[in-house]
Amino acid sequence: MAEAIHIEGLVKSFGRTRALDGLDLTVRTGEVHGFLGPNGAGKSTTIRILLGLLRSDGGSARLLGGDPWRDPTELHRRLAYVPGDVTLWPNLTGGEVIDLLGRLRGGLNQKRKKALLERFDLDPRKKGRTYSKGNRQKVALIAALASEVELLLLDEPTAGLDPLMEAVFNECITEELHDGRTVLLSSHILSEVETLCDRVTIIRKGRAVESGTLDELRHLTRTSISAELAAPPNGLSALDGVHALMVDGNRVHFEVDTSELDAALKQLTSAGVRSLTSRPPTLEELFLRHYQDELNGEEAAR
């Protein structure tokens, strides 16, 4: 099976809020897929539908070749889930929770559990009510990573972890990859996604706005250019991929889509270039742009 998750036109409303509005998402078997989006974009909702906890209002969602709403228990044996908000039972110890969740899923590798407890530096004998937020997160992570499943659904798994533990987490996920598992990882942290993920989907307001490999996405980023020219520029503003153009006499400053970089440079050289600085594209900008649009959109709506 080439696709672990296939979602098409998924719709979910909560009363009048439309949390998902025709979402498409494909996760290939054996990849780590980053799932990005601003607060309230619908990431957790998507994952909950994939778990059969929520019922979709339209579209289709397939998971490991099955229907998550129709046959959840069979599918759940083959996946592990780490929720965004981990709450533990106050009177069960962390070790008990890890064992319990593993057993309910159909089995747990005790050797891996021990190794993970050590790597994450977690005392499994404490009661649920006495763990800090990061340690609660670790309990859920270890329960998921110690079970031998095909698919991991991780909803902001590093929220609350300190930088050291984040590094441990990254190592673990890289190892998962070697084991041939599939991971869907929702996150707000671009750097985490950049180091771990093969492909990324960015969603906004319940729709996928970008999806592809990191290289493909870089292609969507913009290079920012400042130049001093021999003569005032002409025709730059007419170019399609040029944004935020500022002209001050012979000086220009603009951003250009990576795909239009060639055309823009031709325009500059036709006017004669005296000096030129360019800043390489970063995903950060692309990412912020989608977050930014969200804010602008909301302001416009107000």
Give residues in contact with Mg ion (CB under 5 A): 44, 84
Residues in the chain, total = 302
CB-hemisphere CA count at 13 Å for 185? 32
Instruction: Using the minimum distance from each CB to ligand ATP, give the nearer residue, 15 or 249.
Output: 15
Interface mask (CB under 8 A) for other proteins, residues 137-176, using x and -? Answer: ---x------------x-----------------------
Name which position in 22, 72, 212, 241 contacts other proteins (CB under 8 A). Answer: 72
Closest CA to 151 of 125, 173, 181, 130: 181
- Closer by beta carbon to other proteins, 73 or else 275: 73
Question: How far apart are alpha carbons 126 and 90 in whole angstroms?
Answer: 10
Q: Cβ closer to Mg ion: 82 or 122? A: 82
Task: State which residue, 17 or 132, has the beta carbon closest to ligand ATP.
Answer: 17
Cite the DSSP H helix spans in the chain: 43-50, 72-76, 94-105, 110-119, 133-145, 163-178, 190-196, 214-219, 261-271, 283-301
**Residue position matching structure tokens 């110890």:** 93
**Partners of residue 35 on adjacent β-strands:** 186, 201
> Measured between alpha carbons, how far is residue 275 from residues 230, 239, 261 in Å?
9, 21, 17
- Please count the helices (runs of H) and the strands (runs of E) in the chain: 10, 13
Given 32, 36, 41, 50, the residue binding ligand ATP (CB under 6 A):
41
Name the minimum Å distance from CB 203 to Mg ion.
Answer: 11
Instruction: Rule CB under 8 A: say whether 127 interacts with other proteins.
Output: yes
Binder of residue 240, out of other proteins, Mg ion, ligand ATP, none (CB less than 5 to 8 A by kind): none
Residues 256/222, Cβ–Cβ less than 8 Å: yes
Residue 257 CB, nearest approach to ligand ATP (Å)? 27
Tally of CB atoms within 10 A around 283: 19
User: Does 133 engage in binding with other proteins (CB under 8 A)?
Assistant: no
Give the pair of three-digit tokens for residue 136: 């609660």
Judged by CB under 8 A, which of 87, 180, 249, 280 binds other proteins? 87
Is position 279 an interface residue for other proteins (rule: CB under 8 A)?
A: no
Q: Is 53 in the site for other proteins (CB under 8 A)?
A: yes
CA atoms within 13 A on the CB side of 206: 18
CB atoms within 10 A of CB 271: 18
Collapse the DSSP code of 128 into the 3-class scheme (helix H, G, I; strand E, B; otherwise coil) and give the result: helix
Residue 43 near ligand ATP by CB under 6 A: yes
Per partner kind, with CB cut-offs from 5 to 8 A, the member of Mg ion, other proteins, ligand ATP, none near residue 129 is: other proteins
- Window 76 to 95, contacts with ligand ATP (CB under 6 A): 84
Q: What, of other proteins, Mg ion, ligand ATP, none, does residue 30 touch, CB below 5 to 8 Å by kind? A: none
The residue within the footprint of ligand ATP, chosen from 37, 68, 102, 128 (CB under 6 A), is 37
Please report, as ranges, the residues that interact with other proteins according to CB under 8 A.
48, 51, 53-55, 72-74, 76-77, 79, 81, 83, 85-93, 95-96, 98-101, 103-106, 123-127, 129-130, 140, 153
Binding site for ligand ATP (CB under 6 A): 14, 17, 19, 37, 39-45, 84
